[in-house]
Amino acid sequence: MTDIRIMTFNVRGAPPEDGVNIWQNRSALNVETIRACAPDVIGFQEVQIDNLETFKAQLGDYAFEIGLVSNRSDKFLFNAIFWNPQVLACESADGCYLSRTPDRWSKDWDSGRVRVANWVKLHIIDTELEFMHVNTHLDHISEQARIEGSRVIMEQLAKTRSDNIPIFVTGDFNCAPESSPYCIFQEHGFVDAYQAAQVKDSSRANTFHGFQGDQFSVNGHAAQWRIDWILALSGMRTVTTKAYAVVRKAAPPIYPSDHYPVIADFEIDSK
C-alpha cells in the first residue's frame, strides 16, 4: 500500500481590488497553509504570475507543470499542478481546452471564460505505481459549459488512459454536489473523497467563502458551496480514501484565498 496526499486550492490570483486581502498581504499565509498540509500533489486554480513567482520562490522544493493557460487573453490564469519530486516523478504532461475544439484556444456553450483541463502522469518513486492527476476549473457562468466541459474531460481521459491507471481529479467546479457535472463524473466511476471519507454535511462544508471565513452566509445550505472537489477513480490499482478535510486556516481579516483548500489522503493498492 502507498499513501498519497492530494490538495486542491483555488488561490484567487493576485487582483489589485481585494482590499486587505491583496496578494502581498496574504501570500505568506497562503504558503504557510500549504506547507502545514504537506501535500504530495497540488492542483491549483486561478494562478497568476505574482502567485507563481511566490510559489517558485517559497515552494521551490516542488516541481510543477503550468499547463495550458485559461480565462481571457488580457488576464491569463494557470491551473498549475505541483508535486513533491522526492516522492513523485513526472512521466508526461498534457491538457485540453473545454470546448468543441479541445486542441486549440477556444470556448463554447456560452462559457464566460476559456476553460482548460491539465494533467500529468506521475510515477511513485521506488515503486511500480503510476497515476494521473487531472486539474480543472469549470465555468462560473454557463451550466451547459460545465456539463459539456465535464464530458470533454471524460472523452480526453478515455483517449489517454489506455493503461487503466488510477486517476485523481482536482478542481473548482463552480457547482454543487449532485449537480449534472458531478453526476457525470460519478457515472464514469469517480468517487468524491468527501463522500468516501463519510464526512457529514454541516455549516462548515463550504469551500468558497469570499474572504468572509466563518461569517460567510450560506443560508443553511453550506453543501451548495462545496464547489472544490477531489475525485478518485480506481483502475488496475484500488484507490481507497483514508481522510478528507477542508483547511480553514486563517488570520482574520486575512485569508489564504477566497476559497478554502481541500486535502484528501488516499491509499493505492500496490498488488
| pLDDT tens-digit series, residues 164-215 | 999 999 999 999 998 999 999 999 999 999 999 998 777 788 999 999 998 8
- What is the C-alpha to C-alpha distance for residues 148 and 180, in angstroms, rounded to an integer? 10
- The pTM of this model reads 0.96
Query: DSSP states of 189-221 as a string?
Result: T-EEHHHHTTPPP-TT--SB-TT-GGG---TT-
User: Which cell goes with 181?
Assistant: 457535472
Place 220 in a pLDDT band, splitting at 50, 70 and 90. low
- Each residue of 224-257: pLDDT tens digit? 899 999 999 998 899 999 999 999 999 999 999 9
- What is the C-alpha to C-alpha distance for residues 195 and 218, in angstroms, rounded to an integer? 20
- Asked if 252 and 246 touch (Cβ cutoff 8 Å), the reply is no
Lowest-confidence segment of 56-70, 79-93, 214-228, 249-263 by average pLDDT: 214-228
Place 73 in a pLDDT band, splitting at 50, 70 and 90. confident
- What is the C-alpha to C-alpha distance for residues 207 and 182, in angstroms, rounded to an integer? 16
Per-residue pLDDT, averaged over 88-112, amounts to: 97
- What is the C-alpha to C-alpha distance for residues 33 and 140, in angstroms, rounded to an integer? 25
Per-residue pLDDT, averaged over 105-116, amounts to: 96
CATH of domain 2-268: 3.60.10.10
Peptide bond into 253 cis (omega under 30): yes
24, 100, 173, 179, 233 from 230: Cα distances, Å: 28, 25, 10, 15, 10
pLDDT of 234 reads 95
| Side chain identity, residue 177 | P
Would you list the domain boundaries of the chain?
A: 2-268
49, 61, 164 from 7: Cα distances, Å: 20, 16, 23
User: Which cell goes with 126?
Assistant: 521506488
Mean pLDDT computed over every residue of the chain: 94
**DSSP3 helix / strand / coil % (the chain, rounded to 5):** 25, 35, 45
Per-residue pLDDT, averaged over 83-87, amounts to: 97
Per-residue pLDDT, averaged over 101-119, amounts to: 96
21 CB burial (10 A radius; 0-12, 13-18, 19+)? buried
124 three-class SS: strand
Per-residue pLDDT, averaged over 104-109, amounts to: 96
